[in-house]
Amino acid sequence: MNIISHFKDRGKAVTITYSVVFALIAYLTFTTLNSAVQVSMPEENDDCMVCHDDKDLKGTRKGKNISMYVNPNHILGSVHAEAKCVDCHTDLAGVDLPHEDDLKTATCGKCHNKQQKDFDISFHGVALKKGDPLAPNCQYCHGNHQIVDAQHEKSPVQPLKIPFMCGKCHQEGAPVQMSRNIPQSHILENYSESIHGEGLFKRGLVVTATCVSCHTAHAILPHTDKRSSIARNNIAATCSQCHARIEDVHKKIIDGELWEKEAHSLPACVDCHQPHKVRKSFYDVGMAKKECLNCHQDKNIKASNDGRSLHVDVSKLDHSVHSDLACSKCHIEVRPSKIRSCETITTKVNCGSCHDKVNNNYMQSSHGKLFLTGEKDAPTCVTCHNDHEVLPKINPMSKTFAINIPDLCSECHQDGHQAAVRMEDKVQHLTETYTESIHGQGLKSGRLKVTANCSDCHSAHMEANHENPVSSTHKDNISNTCGKCHWGIQTQFDKSIHSPMVSKSNDELPNCNTCHVAHSVVDPSKDEFRLSMLNTCGKCHEKITHLYFDTYHGKASLLGSGKAAKCQDCHSAHMILPTSHANSTLSRDNIVETCAKCHPAANKGFTRYLTHATHHDPEKYPLLFITFWGMTILLLGTFLVSWLHTLLWLPKSLKMRKEIMALKAAGHSGKRVRRFTPLNRILHVTMILCFLTLAATGMMLKFSYAWWAQFSVKMIGGVEVTGFFHRFAAIVLFGVFFTHIFDLIFNKRKEFGSWKEMLLGPDSLLPNKKDWEDLVGSMKWFFNKGPRPQYGRWTYWEKFDYFAVFWGIFVIGSTGLMLWIPEFFTKFMSGQLINVATIIHSDEALLAAGFIFTIHFFNTHFRPEKFPMDTVIFSGSYDVEEFKFDRPAEYEKLVEEGKLEELFVDEPTPTQKRVHSIFGWAALLTGLLIVFLIIYSIISINF
């Protein structure tokens, strides 16, 4: 036998052996499974779900075909997830599967023994035992397999769903309500309108009373059953589950023995608070309201002791919130046993017997304390709410309706009335200031009943002096009071450095009243309020505020500008945070956005402007310190040298005046020499107007603290209008400057012939050797060391004045442009240079104004030989004799060149002279007035 044959025979044998083994395993498996199906007990839920997981499974229950499908997810999600099916379906214990169709109802009492006992004695349990088809069982309320915790949102007995669960049977029109004798009607409807139902349905308060809170969940019994939770002897305990201290609340009623039939016992809650309605009150005292009205409806009825009317207007009473109350509920001293029940009344009605909390608040209030002193003027409940016609505050006819409250309070607090007289030394004009406030305007003009009225701030019943810690307007409480309406603002304020929750400081922190003054709360968008905030913030931040007034924003604000940035614009109004805080409006990430509110083109460079910097601090702001003192030295140096020159000149000028007077007395030829062209004169007149405008409007801003500046700006039309005139004059002055430059270049060849002659010739406006010689000669002349120099066409002081204009145009003009459009310049330079530009622009303008209105005016007009005015710049010409005396060198040059007669012009007409004189004097006096106001302002602020 070869190897292959051997393995073939062996393979056959193995195959036979495997076949036998597999057959045996299959037989045993089949036998085991068949046995399991026939005799298995339902020990596990999975056994039941083999069949009941089938959605098409049907069965018979009480003769009806029903689905027997059980969703396994319902069981797993229920409170019975760990229980076995047979724990509830007890009749299946020991029964072979599959079981019979018609099973008994699942038994809950096996586990829930107490609940089952309660249910068995209840209305529902008794009816169920009797076979009442409408009687509910456990599954009716709790469900069958998907039973979840009562607080679970899917639970049918969750507190929010209880009224609807019970309402399935007990609402009007339901089978139970229609076919069973239930003494209460419209149960669900009444409950939904009650204070309990409103709390549940409108406010979502799951802690409010529902059906099971009063009737219990399972032991629901009639109120006549002593075991019932709503039995007369048990109702107080039932209500006390939620309403504690019932004895304290009702002690006035008990002490008064209102219900004589229940002497010395607490009356049942439902005697006053009708079941399910809870808002309605009634008394079963054997004394109806109509018995009282038999007498008090008479209009002529009066009190025997003081003659006051005791008439009760029934029509008013019917509209009152107390219309359903018996008279005896308020007049508790009545005795039905008496022939005249009211003869036992000795005290006034105490509203606190029902309104206990309100009464306690009133007694702590200023009104209540005044009442306790026996003050007749003290307001009481009837002062505000009336006696019998008590209307709800939502009724527009009620005194306590929102819009009517200011008028109500004004009855006492209006000027001249009792409360106003009593408080005269503390506060005045309360009602008047409130009416003009933003709250008063909203209430009176806008008829907005949601706006704040007296009771919103002072509370309705516990109004107290703001120094009283219990007062709603006390500094510790005012934020919460205002926050009732201004919740968002309060939230911001609570996070700010002004909040006591953030700044743990012993210093007094600002509160709502600090900025928004009590009764005269102004619209924060109004200029009146915005400007007042500078003083308000300045009370605490004095140093910073002082520096703020050195900035354009501060100066413009002093001049009455409401648009200029104020403290709240940069730091925010309520959520003021340190600049290091990420949410601060001035933080690195937010400052550009903050500045962009006013400056839309603001950029990072712009935000480097120093808002509260001072040039007096060399360590913190060295650049500003150097700039300020540099400009101060330049200003003082220029004035010192110029005034010294003027003082030295003055004696010689007085002597020259005698010579000129003698010259004029000797007569003159009538010939006049042209000194200025018509264009020169037009440009100079325009420059005078522009300079006066710039000086006047600029000095108003510089000395913004001065009364004259504030008055002038107001007369002009405000800061914005004043700024417009200032910038317009600057633009025109730029035009004058460039027109003059163009004229020089255009007339260069005609007048000078060449650039060299124009720039270096004897008639050049540039400084030259002769100017130095004239200066030295003048000094010698002043000190009697030499003759008066032979001045040419342009003197050295005239050239100084001339180039001062160039300097001013460049320095004042360039810095002015930086201040005008800082957003553009800070794109390529630091914002700190805007601070530098401010100092330079301000001080250079002061130098220019002071120099022009003193030195230049003297050199031109006030020299004795020219006094009172030299009008040559207006007329363009002067007498040839005066020309020869003033400028001998130029006169001789023109004579030698034979050009003198070419310059002869006609003499101005009398009208022209008059115009020249009027304009000159107007400009002169305006300039002198500006100088006077500058000196006055400097002296007033420093001395």
Instruction: Classify residue 132: in a domain, yes or no.
Output: no
- The confidence score (pLDDT) of residue 36 equals 40
- The confidence score (pLDDT) of residue 10 equals 39
Same domain, 560 and 700: no
* Helices (H), ranges, 666-718: 678-702, 707-716
- The confidence score (pLDDT) of residue 231 equals 84
Q: Does pLDDT of 28 surpass 80?
A: no
Question: What percentage of residues in the chain have a pLDDT greater than 70?
Answer: 89
Question: What percentage of residues in the chain have a pLDDT greater than 90?
Answer: 33
Q: Does pLDDT of 3 surpass 80?
A: no
- For residue 260, what are the contacts with CB-CB under 8 A and spacing of at least 6? 285, 335, 336, 337
Cis before 868 (ω within 30):
yes
Among candidate residues 449, 474, 499, the one where a domain is terminated: 474
Average of per-residue pLDDT across 130-147: 86
Band (303; pLDDT cuts 50, 70, 90): confident
Q: Does pLDDT of 558 surpass 50?
A: yes
Residue whose token pair is 């609570």: 494
Burial class (CB in 10 A: 0-12, 13-18, 19+), 397: exposed
Average of per-residue pLDDT across 286-304: 79
- The confidence score (pLDDT) of residue 652 equals 83
Which one, of 728, 698, 727, 691, lies nearest residue 713 by Cα?
698
The answer to whether the beta carbons of residues 657 and 869 sit under 8 Å apart is no
Residue that wins the pLDDT comparison between 896 and 603: 603
- The confidence score (pLDDT) of residue 285 equals 41
Band (7; pLDDT cuts 50, 70, 90): very low
Cβ atoms within 10 A of the Cβ of 678, count? 9
- The confidence score (pLDDT) of residue 864 equals 62
Instruction: Classify residue 248: in a domain, yes or no.
Output: yes
Domain of 853: which CATH number? 1.20.950.20
Average of per-residue pLDDT across 566-571: 93
Q: Does pLDDT of 256 surpass 70?
A: no
C-alpha distances in Å from residue 924, one per residue of 411, 803, 860:
63, 21, 11
Same domain, 785 and 923: yes
- The confidence score (pLDDT) of residue 288 equals 61
In whole numbers, what is the pLDDT of the chain averaged over residues? Answer: 83
Pairing of strands 877-879, 672-674: antiparallel
Instruction: Classify residue 906: in a domain, yes or no.
Output: yes
User: If DSSP codes are grouped into helix, strand and coil, which group holds residue 255?
Assistant: helix
In terms of C-beta distances under 8 Å and separation of at least 24 residues, what long-range contacts does 609-616 make, across chains too? Answer: 609/822, 609/826, 609/831, 609/832, 609/834, 609/835, 610/831, 610/832, 610/835, 611/548, 611/551, 611/553, 611/570, 612/544, 612/547, 612/548, 612/551, 613/547, 613/835, 614/547, 614/550, 615/839
Q: Does pLDDT of 232 surpass 50?
A: yes
Average of per-residue pLDDT across 661-666: 66
Average of per-residue pLDDT across 203-207: 81
Same domain, 226 and 365: no
Among candidate residues 474, 504, 531, the one where a domain is terminated: 474
**Pairwise CA distance, residues 665 & 659, whole Å:** 10
**Pairwise CA distance, residues 811 & 805, whole Å:** 10
Q: Does pLDDT of 426 surpass 60?
A: yes
Instruction: Classify residue 438: in a domain, yes or no.
Output: yes
Average of per-residue pLDDT across 129-143: 87
- The confidence score (pLDDT) of residue 8 equals 42
The answer to whether the beta carbons of residues 593 and 607 sit under 8 Å apart is no
Same domain, 730 and 770: yes
- The confidence score (pLDDT) of residue 749 equals 67
Average of per-residue pLDDT across 896-911: 84
Instruction: Classify residue 841: in a domain, yes or no.
Output: yes
**Pairwise CA distance, residues 553 & 99, whole Å:** 94
Same domain, 295 and 385: no
Q: How many CA atoms lie within 13 A of 351 on its CB side?
A: 20
Same domain, 558 and 671: no
Instruction: Classify residue 373: in a domain, yes or no.
Output: yes
Q: Does pLDDT of 605 surpass 70?
A: yes
Average of per-residue pLDDT across 311-324: 87
Same domain, 814 and 900: yes
- The confidence score (pLDDT) of residue 608 equals 92
Per-residue pLDDT tens for 79-106? 888 888 888 888 887 787 778 777 778 8
Q: 170-174, 647-651, 701-705: which has the highest mean pLDDT?
A: 701-705
Per-residue pLDDT tens for 342-380? 888 888 888 887 888 888 999 999 999 999 998 888 999
Band (283; pLDDT cuts 50, 70, 90): very low
- The confidence score (pLDDT) of residue 821 equals 94
Structure tokens at 732: 């025109």
Which one, of 933, 918, 765, 921, lies nearest residue 849 by Cα?
933
Q: Does pLDDT of 611 surpass 50?
A: yes
Structure tokens at 419: 């409360």
Q: Does pLDDT of 261 surpass 70?
A: no
Residue that wins the pLDDT comparison between 715 and 344: 715
Q: Does pLDDT of 835 surpass 60?
A: yes
Band (160; pLDDT cuts 50, 70, 90): confident
The answer to whether the beta carbons of residues 590 and 650 sit under 8 Å apart is no
- The confidence score (pLDDT) of residue 244 equals 75
Per-residue pLDDT tens for 164-202? 888 888 887 888 878 777 767 778 778 888 888 888 888
Residue that wins the pLDDT comparison between 1 and 894: 894
| Apex 248 CA angle, 245 and 252, nearest 5 | 150
Average of per-residue pLDDT across 60-73: 81
Which one, of 704, 699, 697, lies nearest residue 728 by Cα?
697
Average of per-residue pLDDT across 771-791: 89
Structure tokens at 153: 């949102």
- The confidence score (pLDDT) of residue 574 equals 93
Phi, psi of 706 (to 5 degrees): -80, 145
Quote the number of domains for the chain: 5
Average of per-residue pLDDT across 472-497: 92
Same domain, 282 and 413: no
Which one, of 769, 465, 398, 825, lies nearest residue 609 by Cα?
825
Average of per-residue pLDDT across 263-282: 56
Instruction: Classify residue 860: in a domain, yes or no.
Output: yes
Q: Which domain holds residue 429?
A: 357-474
Question: How big, in percent rounded to 5, are the helix, strand and coil portions of the chain?
Answer: 55, 0, 45
Instruction: Classify residue 61: in a domain, yes or no.
Output: no
Same domain, 292 and 440: no
Same domain, 839 and 743: yes
Phi, psi of 67 (to 5 degrees): -75, 135
In terms of C-beta distances under 8 Å and separation of at least 24 residues, what long-range contacts does 58-62 make, across chains too? Answer: 59/101, 60/101, 60/102, 61/101, 61/102, 61/103, 62/102
pTM listed for this prediction: 0.64
Same domain, 336 and 361: no
Q: Does pLDDT of 669 surpass 80?
A: no
Same domain, 825 and 749: yes
Instruction: Return the DSSP state at 506.
Output: S
Average of per-residue pLDDT across 572-593: 93
Instruction: Return the DSSP state at 92.
Output: G
Among candidate residues 474, 505, 531, the one where a domain is terminated: 474
Q: Quick one: residue 94, left, alpha or beta (phi over 0 = left, psi -120 to 50 = alpha)?
A: left
Q: Does pLDDT of 49 surpass 80?
A: yes
- The confidence score (pLDDT) of residue 253 equals 45
Average of per-residue pLDDT across 849-866: 79
Instruction: Return the DSSP state at 95.
Output: P
Strand 877-879's sheet: what is its strand order?
877-879, 672-674, 904-905
